Structure 1
Amino acid sequence: MNASLQSLLDLLDLERIEENIFRGISRFALIPRVFGGQVAAQALVAAGRTVPAERGAHSLHAYFLRPGDPGAPIVYEVDRIRDGRSFTTRRVVAVQHGKPIFHLSASFQSSEEGLEHQEPMPQAPDPETLPTAEELLPAHADVFPQPGTVERILEARAAVDLRYCQDPPFVTVGQGPREPRSQVWFRTRGKLDDDPLLHVCLATYVSDMTLLDSVLLAHGRGGWAVGDVVGASLDHAMWFHRPFRADEWLLYDQQSPSASGGRGLGTARIYTQDGRLVVSVIQEGLVRVPRSVG
């Protein structure tokens, strides 16, 4: 396990202050606010620690309310909404400086048998044949207007091996619109414990990294790092269909059905390498074009 992955695991190991109150810290972010995937993952950790271990997370619904301050701790207040015979529901509010910055509702379920079907896994190249971030980003450093952007991106994603199946938006900026679809493979850079909640929380963390790329591709935009859009996550929903491991290759197949009103919608499915559909994701984000760009 590399040091960056251990740092991320430490980030998710929240301090319990009271029975239903937890405290977390933040880590380096690409932008001067808390990374949305971090606060979502930490909130899910807080919820999960108040639920019996035999009940796994099956869905979450979240809203990003205010930008998080990366220099201040985040307090997670858990409300035990329901403890039923099969399902457990939790509501979590993340608070900084006395104000809520994030709200999450999560549901957990005891394992049971039921009907089974899924959409087939789409075609995608073998992840081992794709360039690593350390190979891809430096080759395109000239597209980023701010010095040191490549290094900051690599540092922020050092805990995760994330590989693009097609050219990402920052590579094709200025080349015109493309199909609003993006695929990436990802896995942690090291083996993890078997705790299912940990794997679900790490997938939640990664799910906020690239989902809105499909919106950018539809308009030939490169993203915040290139400077031709201003963006932020607004809301986020995930459904966990089947068990999986975040330390094994997962295909994140993403597309955008719509963008309007300064917002873009991304939908996605996550598959294991052997073709099992394990997670569905939907996110809406703020996607504004700076006036200086037009």
Structure 2
Amino acid sequence: MPLFGQAAVDQLLEVLDLEQVDAAAFVGESPQTGAQRVFGGQVAGQALVAAGRTVERDRFVHSLHGYFVRPGDPTEPIRFQVETIRDGRSFSVRRSTAQQHGKTIFFMSASFQVREEGLDHHSPAPLDDVPGPDDVPTMLDWVQRYPSRAGIFASAPQAVDVRYVGVPGWVPPGDRVASEEQRVWMRINGTLPDDPLIHACALTYASDLSLLDSVLSVHGEVWGPGGVIGASLDHALWLHRPFRADEWFLYDCTSPSASGSRGLAMGRMFTRDGRHIASAGQEGLLRRIGERKQ
């Protein structure tokens, strides 16, 4: 049985608690879930941990941009090397590179800023026509309904409580209809420590869980047999306002474009009281199963 609740969250915290080798080098492990490759949100979250540990604690991450270069091997440790690009009066910029077997599997640029006051606005949250998290199925409900399609969702630790307002991208073909958006309620499925960097890393981890589903939603497509296989190519995240990743937020995702076996997805994250806490962007490789590799 997979881990649930605080036990799964504690395991996630262990994954994010990198071993520091020297001032700019860290080593991380992956949970042994039977997956063939490292989950992209994991390596991105770990890369951010490494970068954040080299920055003064009064500076908070506000943006990150990463590229997934090679599949990660979950049976091997990941080494993270952090380069200090700049430390200014208000901003610090870091480059964090993840390597296995002597090759880069992921790299990220992240920018940190001291707290400042200034102009403040955001677009309204789309909450009026969205049921709350208690009124939509849990991931366990979906797994029990479609056990043969659930795959890794049935065995992986459930550190993030993911509740689709619509239908997950891995349901059987024919049970998913085209939609212009994909909306998901999320929260870390337990309590996190009061460390803004940990909450930012946990949100980075969660932001990779359903974003590309919105590309498939436009076409009524699904992941897996009878549908599409894919992989993340790059990932960007902008953190706008303070938040707790262990409190509910709505991940409102859309896809403005898909072409050339690539799909672009954009997401906005809103708290239950309507605050816009973060925005994400991701391009993914998407190929119909059986298509010839380009």
What residue is the counterpart of 1:275 in the other structure? 274
Give me the whole-angstrom Cα distance separating, in 1, the residues matched to 2:32 and 2:221: 25
Question: Mean alpha-carbon deviation: is it higher for 214-223 or for 172-181?
Answer: 172-181
2:10 is matched by which residue type in structure 1? Q
Classify 1:13/1:109 alpha carbon distance in 2 versus 1 (closer, same or farther; 3 Å): same
Q: 1:2 aligns with which of 1, 6, 30?
A: 6
Superposition CA RMSD, Å: 1.7
2:185–2:250 Cα contact (<8 Å) kept: yes
Offset at 1:54? 0.9
Classify 1:138/1:75 alpha carbon distance in 2 versus 1 (closer, same or farther; 3 Å): same
Per-residue deviation, residues 24-81 of structure 1 (Å, max 9, x unmatched): 0111457411100000000000000000111000000000001111110000000011
Q: TM-score, normalised by structure 1?
A: 0.93
Classify 1:10/1:241 alpha carbon distance in 2 versus 1 (closer, same or farther; 3 Å): same
Give me the whole-angstrom Cα distance separating, in 2, the residues matched to 1:284 and 1:157: 25
1:105 aligns with 2:109: yes
Classify 1:167/1:204 alpha carbon distance in 2 versus 1 (closer, same or farther; 3 Å): same
What residue is the counterpart of 1:178 in the other structure? 178
What residue is the counterpart of 1:135 in the other structure? 141
Consecutive unaligned residues in structure 2, runs of 5 or more: none
Give me the whole-angstrom Cα distance separating, in 2, the residues matched to 1:272 and 1:157: 24
What residue is the counterpart of 1:266 in the other structure? 265
What residue is the counterpart of 1:34 in the other structure? 38
What residue is the counterpart of 1:232 in the other structure? 231
Classify 1:16/1:62 alpha carbon distance in 2 versus 1 (closer, same or farther; 3 Å): same
Per-residue deviation, residues 173-208 of structure 1 (Å, max 9, x unmatched): 225751231011111121111100111100100111
2:118 is matched by which residue type in structure 1? G
2:32–2:75 Cα contact (<8 Å) kept: no
1:81 aligns with 2:64: no
Offset at 1:213? 0.5
Q: TM-score, normalised by structure 2?
A: 0.93
Offset at 1:125? 1.0
Classify 1:157/1:266 alpha carbon distance in 2 versus 1 (closer, same or farther; 3 Å): farther
Per-residue deviation, residues 236-267 of structure 1 (Å, max 9, x unmatched): 00100000001100110001111100101100
Classify 1:108/1:128 alpha carbon distance in 2 versus 1 (closer, same or farther; 3 Å): same
Give me the whole-angstrom Cα distance separating, in 2, the residues matched to 1:69 and 1:287: 21
2:223–2:229 Cα contact (<8 Å) kept: yes
Offset at 1:92? 0.7
Q: SS at 1:137's partner residue? A: helix
Give me the whole-angstrom Cα distance separating, in 1, the residues matched to 2:269 and 2:32: 26
Classify 1:231/1:260 alpha carbon distance in 2 versus 1 (closer, same or farther; 3 Å): same
1:252 aligns with 2:258: no
1:54 is matched by which residue type in structure 2? D
* 1:28-67 map, 5 Å: 28=32, 31-67=35-71
1:234–1:284 Cα contact (<8 Å) kept: yes
1:288 is matched by which residue type in structure 2? R
1:180–1:216 Cα contact (<8 Å) kept: no
What residue is the counterpart of 2:289 in the other structure? 290
1:198 aligns with 2:204: no
Offset at 1:131? 1.6
Consecutive unaligned residues in structure 1, runs of 5 or more: none
Give me the whole-angstrom Cα distance separating, in 1, the residues matched to 2:159 and 2:104: 28
2:287 is matched by which residue type in structure 1? R
Instruction: Report the count of equivalent residues.
Output: 286
Give me the whole-angstrom Cα distance separating, in 2, the residues matched to 1:211 and 1:157: 19
Q: SS at 2:155's partner residue? A: helix
Percent same amino acid among aligned pairs?
52
1:23 aligns with 2:27: yes
Question: Mean alpha-carbon deviation: is it higher for 50-59 or for 122-131?
Answer: 122-131
1:250–1:271 Cα contact (<8 Å) kept: yes
1:74–1:95 Cα contact (<8 Å) kept: yes
Offset at 1:218? 1.6
Per-residue deviation, residues 158-177 of structure 1 (Å, max 9, x unmatched): 11111001122333622575
Question: Mean alpha-carbon deviation: is it higher for 250-259 or for 160-169?
Answer: 160-169
What residue is the counterpart of 2:17 in the other structure? 13
